[in-house]
Amino acid sequence: MARDYYATLGVDRDATPEQIKRAYRKLARELHPDVNPDDDAQQRFSDVTTAYEVLSDPKKKQVVDLGGDPLDNGGGAGGGGGDPFAGFGGLGDIMDAFFGGGGASGGRGPRSRVQPGSDALLRLELSLEDCAAGVNRDITVDTAVLCDSCDGGGSRAGSAPSTCDTCGGRGEVQSVQRSFLGQVMTSRPCPVCRGFGEVITDPCQQCSGDGRVRARRTITVKIPAGVGDGMRVRLAGEGEVGAGGGPPGDLFVEVEEKPHERFTRDGADLHCTVEVPMTAAALGTVLTLRTLDGTDEELRVEPGTQPGTEQVLSGRGLPKLRSNGRVSGHGDLHIHLDVVVPGKLDDQQMELLRQLADLRGEQQPEPTVTNGNGRQGLFSRFKSFGHR
Backbone angles phi, psi at 377, to 5 degrees: -80, 175
> How is 325-353 classified by DSSP, letter by letter?
S-EEEE--EEEEEEEEPPS---HHHHHHH
**Binding-site positions:** 147, 150, 164, 167, 190, 193, 204, 207
Give 12's DSSP letter: -
C-alpha neighbours within 13 Å on the C-beta side of residue 22: 15
Residues in the chain: 388
d(CA 152, CA 135): 35
Angle between helices 39-55 and 58-65 (to 10 degrees): 100
User: CB–CB of 135/196 below 8 Å?
Assistant: no
**Binding-site positions for Zn(2+):** 147, 150, 164, 167, 190, 193, 204, 207
Q: Which residues touch 328 (CB under 8 Å, ≥6 apart)?
A: 320, 322
* CA-closest candidate to residue 140, choices 129, 118, 124, 127: 124
d(CA 183, CA 163): 29
d(CA 346, CA 350): 6
d(CA 300, CA 20): 75
Q: Which residues touch 51 (CB under 8 Å, ≥6 apart)?
A: 3, 5, 6, 8, 9, 24
Residue type, 28: A
C-alpha separations of 65 from 46, 81, 91, 242 in Å: 22, 20, 23, 29
Bridging pattern class, strands 269-277 and 333-340 = parallel
